[in-house]
Structures are given as C-alpha cells and as structure tokens.
Amino acid sequence: MNEQNRSRVQGSEDTRSRLRRLPLIATMSIVACVGVVLSLLLSRAPQAASVQAPSPSAGASVTIKLSGVAGSKGMVMAALCDKATFLKRCPYMQTVAASPVINLKFEGIKPGVYAAMLFHDENGNGEFDRSPNGMPLEGYAFSRNARGHYGPPSFEDAAVEVKAGKAALDIDMVY
C-alpha cells in the first residue's frame, strides 16, 4: 500500500471514529444543558418559598371541623385550594396530629371559591397511600363531603364560596 492510500484509509478511520463518538458527545451536551436548567430552577426555589403568607387581617377566616378520623395515629393533612391548584399543591396547607375530631383554622384567606381536601396520613410518610389498583388505603375528605366516582370529586362538587369574614365547614372523613 502506498503512502497516499495509507493516509486516505487512516483519514476515513478517523472520520468513522469521530462519527461513532458523536452520539456520546451529543448526549453529554444534553445532560449538561439539563443540569444547568435544573440548577437554575432549584436556585430560584428558596426565593419562591420565602414569599410571605397573607396577614390574618387581610382576608377571611375558614374553620373546618373534621369528624370521623379513625384513631390518633399519624397526621391529618389539610389544604384549601382554588380551582387552579385543586388536586395539586395548594396555597393554604396545614398538618395536625390525628384525633377523632379535629378543628382546623385557615386565616388570611383571600375571598373566592375554594375546595378543602384532607387526608389521614396514618403511617406518617407524607403521602396519600393507594393500593396497586388505585383504591385509597388512608382516610380522605373533601368540602361539602363531595365524593368522586372512580376517582376524586370535581372541583365544582367540592367548591365553597369564601367571603370576607368567617366561614365554617363541617366535613366527614371517609375510609
């Protein structure tokens, strides 16, 4: 093989080698970009968490009397949500020790339409536990004692209007 042919073969091998590395380089670039985006998002999270809650005098007061909690084991997690945050992370949340009857008070609530969601976190894992087929394993409740059919109720079924002043809701836990 002469010198010219040898350099041509070596050049094509270098090209093939570079082409084989291209997917790896592209993947590494994508991972680096995702890492940068995540770090930017996470660096902004503490700033969002430091937003001040409304003062009690700035809005309504909502009292919830929850009955039918099975025992005193675990915690009861409660949330007051508007339509945009229903079944998601709600702007008003509380966690209290479980007992058969619980009184919760949300203050500084901006008047509007809300739905209350509650669940009895019996095992203290911070999650609403379900069986493999999706059936609830822990107690739950919604305002207006709304019940869903093969899933949670709609926002409209659980919605209550909160006006300036005081509002009271009586809710029963379901197991």
- Confidence class for position 34, pLDDT limits 50, 70, 90: very low
pLDDT tens-digit readout, 44-99: 323 222 222 445 456 899 999 999 999 999 999 999 999 999 999 999 999 999 99
Confidence at residue 150, expressed as pLDDT on a 0 to 100 scale: 86
pLDDT tens-digit readout, 100-153: 999 999 999 999 999 999 999 999 999 999 999 989 999 999 999 999 988 999
Contacts of 18-26 with CB under 8 Å at 24 or more apart are none
Residue 150: other Cβ atoms inside 10 A: 5
Question: What's the rounded mean pLDDT across residues 14-24?
Answer: 51
Q: For residue 78, what is the enclosing H or E element?
A: strand 75-81
Confidence at residue 18, expressed as pLDDT on a 0 to 100 scale: 55
Indicate if the pLDDT at residue 38 is higher than 60. Answer: no
For the chain, the average pLDDT equals: 78
CA–CA distance, 160 with 51 (Å, rounded to integer):
26
Confidence at residue 109, expressed as pLDDT on a 0 to 100 scale: 96
The percent helix, strand, coil of the chain (3-state, each to 5) is 35, 30, 35
Concatenated DSSP letters for 50-73?
TPPPPPGGGSEEEEEEEE----SS
- CB 118 within 8 Å of CB 78: yes
Q: For residue 77, what is the enclosing H or E element?
A: strand 75-81
- Confidence class for position 20, pLDDT limits 50, 70, 90: low
Burial of 48 (0-12, 13-18, 19+ CB in 10 A): exposed
Confidence at residue 8, expressed as pLDDT on a 0 to 100 scale: 58
- Confidence class for position 24, pLDDT limits 50, 70, 90: very low
